Structure 1
């Protein structure tokens, strides 16, 4: 009997030659990680039922604070392999990120290895996390890169919006953490189905799909702010570039 996942890895761009990031360390530490964070912060989760229980998912989120990535990995209903800036994969933190199955990505240059690794995760039926803004900031999705749309178009995975609220204080720097007891709201939005498009895919197709995803995410962000009665922290301090 043929293996449909094996065949999927042979489709362009191929993902058969890259390694599947580890899952078991992340699964093992998630309960402890959630407990530790909840000892310091009031984490509130909204609409977890919207997160698909099975199958590939491209999880997309706004990015306002340094703790957004760990919150995504720990509190999502399923383990998420987030595309994480390669600068963080140094020393003990880098080892921890690799053990946790996170995917290093070069944000300033083409990174075929990161793309193929993300495709392998999705083709194996798991979840990939993407911050389309590419960097921490006001979290309003004014900037929106096309990576999430591309991954969804290649694999046919639905795109699931997340909204992070409260993970950076107004006026706080890109590397700051809110004070103890602060409230974090993580709101799961309505997923968007995306049909897989066989190779070759045009830039216009990716661009138009990305524009539609951005509109949906901004609508979901507005709904999340309205539901929680909260607001985004505003821009980073002048001269602070993450």
Structure 2
């Protein structure tokens, strides 16, 4: 599928200059501070639209995805992060603000524009930091894959939060951090109108695929997830998607 065949969007493409210029510097800094191990990078197509869908265990996940992914990433990022100097930096680096508590059409249009233009979109289907075990799973990644036909590459993080660590904690210097890119998943592009049933079915298939890739990443690295956040650390998140233990 060519980018011209993807759905049009009048939304402005997020800027890329700062993102492109800053990535080499960020990679050097991260590699000097942590023992970073990246697996499966060739799973990410070298060109064309792609969605990187990652588990979410710690504060570092977003910055590391932007810095270390094989291609510059425009990640959907909660609007709460877009305040002050950090918020300005996120905007200039092409990250996409997302209001998780309503249907945020601006975020959807910006995401479609990134994919239409052959870019890389980052998304955390769990919606918030936590155990990273994909027991929570929102439908946004599957919806965007269904609309565009773009492949979804699962990304599994290990080590960005230590067991028992708080939501905003980071591992100490020298800690090992693993990023594992899994086998891509793709669904046929579905022209408008798309039904809730189609989105739900695609989301079930993607969740099952990402859970298999999570198990594969565990076996590949010999690592496990950090477990739940400490009591009282869980942030609010809308009860949409698959939000109950063991569902679907």
TM-score bracket, normalised by the shorter chain, equals: over 0.9
Q: When the two structures are superposed, what TM-score results if normalisation uses the length of structure 2? A: 0.92
1:50 is the counterpart of 2:43: yes
For residues 7 and 218 of structure 1, the distance between their equivalents in structure 2, rounded to whole angstroms, comes to 30
The partner residue of 2:94 within 89, 101, 119 is 101
Structure-2 residue corresponding to 1:125: 118
1:191 is the counterpart of 2:184: yes
Identify unmatched segments of 5+ residues in structure 2: 236-248
For residues 143 and 7 of structure 1, the distance between their equivalents in structure 2, rounded to whole angstroms, comes to 32
Equivalences for 1:172-183 in 2 at 5 Å? 172-183=165-176
For residues 52 and 24 of structure 1, the distance between their equivalents in structure 2, rounded to whole angstroms, comes to 21
1:19 is the counterpart of 2:19: no
CA RMSD of aligned residues (A): 1.2
Secondary structure in 1 aligned to 2:153? strand
Structure-2 residue corresponding to 1:29: 22
Structure-1 residue corresponding to 2:34: 41
Aligned length in residues: 234
- Say if 2:76 and 2:97, in contact at 8 Å, map to a contact too: yes
Deviation at 1:37, TM superposition (A): 1.2
Deviation at 1:195, TM superposition (A): 1.0
1:71 is the counterpart of 2:71: no
Q: Which runs of 4+ in 1 moved over 2 A?
A: 4-10
Structure-2 residue corresponding to 1:163: 156
Deviation at 1:32, TM superposition (A): 0.3
Q: When the two structures are superposed, what TM-score results if normalisation uses the length of structure 1? A: 0.94
Structure-2 residue corresponding to 1:208: 201
